[in-house]
Amino acid sequence: EEDDASSYITISESDVMNSLTSEDEDERISAAYDVAHMCEYQPDPNEFPLWEKAQQKLAALGAGSALLKLVQEGSSQEAKCAGFNAISQFCSRNEANSTTIGTDPIFQIAIRQAMTENDIESESWALVAMCNVLMNSFDSHPNLLCLLPNLRQSLIKHKHEPIPLVNEICITLYNFSLNESSRPFLVSEGIISEFVVALREWISIDSHINQSIAVVTMAIANCTKDIQNDNILVSFTDKDIYLLVQLVSECFKASVDGRDYPPGSRVYFMKWELSMAVTNLAKSVPHRKLLLQFHVLDMVKQILDEDGKGNKKEQQLQSKWGLNALWQLCYQSN
């Protein structure tokens, strides 16, 4: 295993690019695996870690275009899966790379193609790549909003199947909800309506809170303002609303404590994500009162009192949305 690890370290970005632009598809697939390995996020105390250096060097050498060509033209399932996996790591925590990939029409075409070929594995990897792009670059959203109908149909088709694809669909749609400009489209395309239906069905079938339930809840919370006048939540009972707020509150507490949510999922929501959800939920008076009952105001104050940790952008987002949440909650409490 040590030999395998060291062999990756000796591969240069230029060597990888030579293979990634080869005429031989097997060589390109192997190079895509190398890109994914070199760019994979690893906790690193250095200000400029190795994985981030690899992302920048590969981007400068044109890796983005080469990976897009692989997922568009690859003749095998492995080629597409390897390409999408590499794109996911190439874009992870990298706004510039995510914008380059996400605004390219080829990426949209490749995602749509993967979603219509009835190949669950290719579709899953395509959505993993799309998730990272959407999370890191709001500039990519306009180019990818046209895929919402495909995502809605895929959700309807697979929502009762215990497969990872369902999680990827839900997380992808949730990432759209992080962008205020994209939220109205989630409402108008019927995504939130489907989320409401799915949430009810999942809870009635299994009281265990899984990852899909968590991200669907967060997406509904983020879109509260956009759906208030759309009659989507008119059919929500008091029990439904209580559950919605309870889930967001539990997720917030887990984030503050540094725990995964749902427990055992190894999914860690960032504090600014929860503050955003609380801000949007608190714009509705009934939701706001419930949030106060669940002591969410204390959690918001706690994250605002913390010393700065993490990268600068995440700290800026945490301060921004923490203050917004504080304002919305205190407005009602006063």
Quick: pLDDT tens for 252-270: 999 999 898 888 887 888 8
**Rounded Cα distance, 160 and 232, in Å:** 22
Phi, psi of 160 (to 5 degrees): -100, 10
State the average pLDDT for the chain: 87
CA distances from 126 to 57, 110, 132, 142, 208 (A): 23, 8, 10, 18, 28
pTM: 0.85
Q: How many CB atoms lie within 10 A of CB 210?
A: 17
Total residue count of the chain as it appears in this document: 334
Give the pLDDT confidence of 77-123 residue by residue, as tens digits: 999 999 999 999 999 989 999 999 999 999 999 999 999 988 899 99
pLDDT above 70: residue 233 = no
**Which candidate, 139, 133, 51, places its Cα nearest to that of 91?**
133
309 or 332: which leads in pLDDT: 309
Q: How confident is the model over 274-301, as pLDDT tens digits?
A: 999 999 999 888 889 999 999 999 999 9
Report the distance separating Cα 274 and Cα 282, nearest Å: 12
**Token couple for 22:** 């080869």
- pLDDT for 328 equals 92
What is the DSSP secondary-structure string of 230-266? Answer: TTSGGG--HHHHHHHHHHHHHHHHHHHHT--SSTTS-
Asked whether the predicted pLDDT for residue 3 surpasses 50, the reply is no
Res 45 pLDDT > 70 = no
- b/e 101-138 (16+ beta carbons within 10 angstroms → b): bbbbebbbebbebbbeeebebbbbbbbbbbbbbbbbbb
The helix/strand/coil state of 264 is: coil
Task: Give Cα 88 to chain centroid, integer Å.
Answer: 11
